[in-house]
Each structure stands twice: as structure tokens, then as C-alpha cells.
Structure 1
Amino acid sequence: MSPDGRGELGRATIVPMPDPTAALQAVRTSTADLLKGLEEHRWSDDELRAPSRCAGWTRGHVLTHLARNADGIAATLAGALRGEVVPRYPGGGRGRDQEIEDGAPRPALALLADVSESAERLDRVFGAVQEAGRWDARTDGGLTAADWPARRLREVEIHRVDLAGDYGPDRWPPLLVAELLPGVMTSLAERVATGVHVVVDAAGSVAPEPAGQEWTVGDGAVEVRGPDWAVLAWATGRGAAATGLGEAPGLAPWR
């Protein structure tokens, strides 16, 4: 994620990845739900140029990012199947950012088609990796192919909340919350200006066995307590979309 909280999610967070087959099924479900929601919502051109929950980005920026992220992952996975390490973004971060800026103002029909078609291309490559049994293939960023289903799941689910529609973090899938929350919390001390004690309540949580998770920073003077999805929303900078926490201190952007 960039310094203002946009873009690639969790690049500096070390998180054990779930089984790629389970993550692939989850990302397929999430992608289908995203596309269905976009079709049902039918945002106008003007609505897609309105601000998203990502500072400085419109909904058009978010959708363009999702499409280019899909194509980038597809490119590095296709390269891995050929025994090559291919960068997701040949132009680097600057080139990626420019593609997002260029694509964001497009009409609604073009944006939605781009998200759908890029997701289909990525799914075909995921299927090819699975069929070939090549989840161990090396890819961009020092990762293996097995890492990418979970990373794509993060992008789809978190940026769907950023679209500021009717989809909230309380609908995040259990696999995402269980996989991502512990890793995100490892950087909490670097991002909060006061002592906090964070407690996950079992009531309302979505991940298996959420009770007992807690983290303390400094003197733990401020308690942040709620279901796992709400804690994750706060920890990833999406607290404004969460309704299960009450007052919680602000955080520096999650990278």
C-alpha cells in the first residue's frame, strides 16, 4: 500500500498464506460477488468519479486498480508457468500509478468491463497453475504462485469496501479475516500514537475460534474491543466503514 493508504495491500506484512486451493475458491466467490454487486448497483459515470474511501482516489481509481492488479498477477503467474520471473508491472510502481490515473476517468461501462474481463483472465491463469500443480513456481516479489490467491482475495475484499457502496467489512469472508488480522497487528506499534489494548470479542466475529486474540501497545491505556472483522477494518484504515468498535484511535496508513 502506498503512503496514503492506497494501492497494493499489505506488502510489508509477513502473513502465513492459507492453502492456495481454499484461497482460490474464496477469491472466486468474492470476485463473483463483486461483479454481481457492480451489476446490481449500476453506478453512473458521475458516481464512479465520486470519492472512494481511499484518500485521493475516486471509485474509478479503485476499479482500475482492481483490473490492473488482476492483470499484473496473471502476468507473473503466466511467466512462472514458463519458468520465468515476470514483474507484475513492467513500468514499476510509477507506471502502475499512471495506468490507474489514465484509466480512472473512463465511462462506467468501460470500467466495469475492464474489471470483469481482467478477472476472467486471472481466473484462467489460476486454473492453469492449479491444473499443472505448480503452486511452488517462483514469481515476482520473491513469492510463489501459492501466495497469490490470498493476496488477490485481500485486494478484492478490502477495495470493495473502499468503493463506499452497500458492502461493509462485516461481510468479509472468514478466511480473509483469519489470515490477515494477526499479520496486520504486527505493525500496530508503528502506526498508533497512544497505548492501546486490542481485544477480539467472540460475539459477532466471523473467523473460527476468534476469542482470546489480544494485543497491547505501550501502556494499553485505550481499549479497542469488538468482533474480528471490525478490528481488522480499523487496523487496515477502514474503521469508518465499521460499526462494531465504537471510539478507536486513529492510525497511520497500513502499508
Structure 2
Amino acid sequence: MPDAAPDHIARAFDLRHSFTTFTQRSGAASVSSMIDHAHDLASVRDATDRLLTAAAKLDNASTAEPSRLPGWTRGHVLAHLARNADALVNVLEGRPMYVDGEARDSDIERDAPRPLDVQLTDLRDSAARFQATGAAPADWSRTVELRNGVTDSGARVPFRRWIEVELHHVDLGIGYELEDLPAEFTERETDFLAERFAGHPDVPPTRLTDGTHAWSTGRAADAPSITVTGPAADLLGWLAGRRDGSGLTVEGGALPGLPPL
């Protein structure tokens, strides 16, 4: 069974806590007007196609090998992705995302050992269900409920799924790296993660930059005390818990420790 480390990451991108800070500060209805859900649904479809094409090159033995998430095999990651698609269908249709946390975890454990062809069929079918639900007429400005009382705009749900597919594709460890992520995705996810830690009392005032874009995060201050500079993929990897920050340059102090997502 996976240990605590992958669960922290899976929670973040399984949306137990994702977007909580942004939603609370900005309000779901106002955010929805800035989100192009149809564009994000198309991006999810493209990302899913890339993942399925890459995963089809595996075999049963390699599917059972460890992923980059400690304690999870590649089968765990594929099972999680399939069940998350169905969970987000539940969200869009007004049902609880999962029956409860135990059911979510037991479903992943149940499905993780399946043969590769079964995994791929399940992932393909669940992704199609998500796309079909997203294509149905709906009020995308409505507020939807995720887990643990977290709410957000319905329009943001496709981007949430995009996060799942892209980052867990990287987590499979099959040749898709953070550097391969679409530039738009990297920038938007960095926007969110910087906002996620904004105002956090345990994170010093910090400026992040990839040389083209800049973000502020951490405790509020007149000016940031620390500047973290590096390639976009390394910044995202550090913020998302996928890299240790060794590829980043830090001025004004040590690289801040980030709290669990």
C-alpha cells in the first residue's frame, strides 16, 4: 500500500486540497469568467491521448514496477487516473466526488494489479465519460463541491483534470518529463502553486522567476526577501514536490521549505 509521500501528492492533484486557497480568495463565480472550459477539455483530451500512447508501450511486468511516487507502482498511477476521471464526472453531475476516502484508496489498491490492457481500456473509457460529461450543456459558472468541503467553479474542473493527467504522466517515469509539459500548462500550474503558498506563515516572502515570468509567494511583505530563479520546469517541479530544487538559484537566503500540498 502506498505510504504517506505519494498520498500527499495524489491528494494535491486528486483535488482534496487543490485550489482551496485560490477559490476562497477569488470566489468561484468570478474565476469562472476567466476560464475557457472548452479549451481545457480539448487540452485534457490531447494530454490523455499522449499518456495512452506512451503507456501502451509498457507490458504487464513494467506496469507492476515502481512509479516515481514512493510506494505506488505504475499500475497504481493508472488506476488512480481512471478513478479520478469518474470522480470528476460525479462532481460535474452534482454527486459526491468519492463515497469516502477509504473507498477511494481501496478502489486504487483493487485496480492497481490489473493487466495493462485492462488498465488502458479503463483509462480510455473513463476519460471518454469525462469528456462526454464536459460536452453536455451546463451552467459552467455554477459552484461545485469537491472533497472535504472544498468548492470551486465548474469551469475550473477541466483544468483540474488536466493537472492530473499531465503530472501523473510524468510520475509514471516512462520518458515524459516536466520539460515536455505544454508551456501553457506549466505557466498556469505555476500560477496556481505560487498562489497556493501565498500568505502561508511558514513560507518566507519569495519571488519566483524563470527569466520571463515572475510570481510572488509566501508571507505578505513590502518586498520579497528571497528570489528563486530557474528554468520553468524546475520551478514547477519544486513547487509540485517533483524535484528538490537543486536546479534552482536562490538569492537572499536558503531555498524555502514548502509545506505539504
Determine if contact 2:75/2:119 at 8 Å carries over to the other structure.
yes
The Cα of 1:48 is off from its aligned counterpart by 1.4
Are 1:245 and 2:248 an aligned pair?
yes
Say if 1:76 and 1:237 are closer, same or farther in 2 by CA, change over 3 A.
same
Q: Distance in 1 between matches of 2:128 and 2:243?
A: 31
Hey, what does 1:232 align to over in structure 2?
A: 236
Decide which of 194, 212, 215 is 2:214's aligned counterpart. Answer: 212
SS at match of 2:10: coil
Are 1:49 and 2:64 an aligned pair?
yes
Say if 1:86 and 1:135 are closer, same or farther in 2 by CA, change over 3 A.
same
Hey, what does 1:177 align to over in structure 2?
A: 186
Hey, what does 1:111 align to over in structure 2?
A: 119
Hey, what does 2:87 align to over in structure 1?
A: 72
The Cα of 1:60 is off from its aligned counterpart by 0.7
Hey, what does 1:155 align to over in structure 2?
A: 164
Aligned residue pairs total 235
Determine if contact 1:60/1:106 at 8 Å carries over to the other structure.
yes
Q: Which amino acid letter does the alignment assign opposite residue 235 of structure 2?
A: V
The Cα of 1:161 is off from its aligned counterpart by 0.7
The Cα of 1:117 is off from its aligned counterpart by 1.2
Unaligned runs of 5+ in 2: 24-30
Unaligned runs of 5+ in 1: 80-84, 203-209
Say if 1:3 and 1:72 are closer, same or farther in 2 by CA, change over 3 A.
closer
The Cα of 1:13 is off from its aligned counterpart by 4.2
Determine if contact 2:67/2:77 at 8 Å carries over to the other structure.
yes
Determine if contact 1:30/1:153 at 8 Å carries over to the other structure.
yes
Q: Distance in 1 between matches of 2:66 and 2:205?
A: 31
1:95-135, CA deviations, whole angstroms, 9 ceiling, x for partnerless residues? 1011001111111111111111111111111111xxx2432
Determine if contact 1:137/1:145 at 8 Å carries over to the other structure.
yes
The Cα of 1:234 is off from its aligned counterpart by 0.9
Determine if contact 1:23/1:175 at 8 Å carries over to the other structure.
no
Tell me the TM-score normalized by structure 2.
0.76
Measured on the aligned residues, the alpha-carbon RMSD in Å equals 3.2
Tell me the TM-score normalized by structure 1.
0.77
Determine if contact 2:78/2:123 at 8 Å carries over to the other structure.
yes
Q: Distance in 2 between matches of 1:93 and 1:25?
A: 29
Q: Distance in 1 between matches of 2:72 and 2:64?
A: 9
Determine if contact 1:61/1:101 at 8 Å carries over to the other structure.
yes
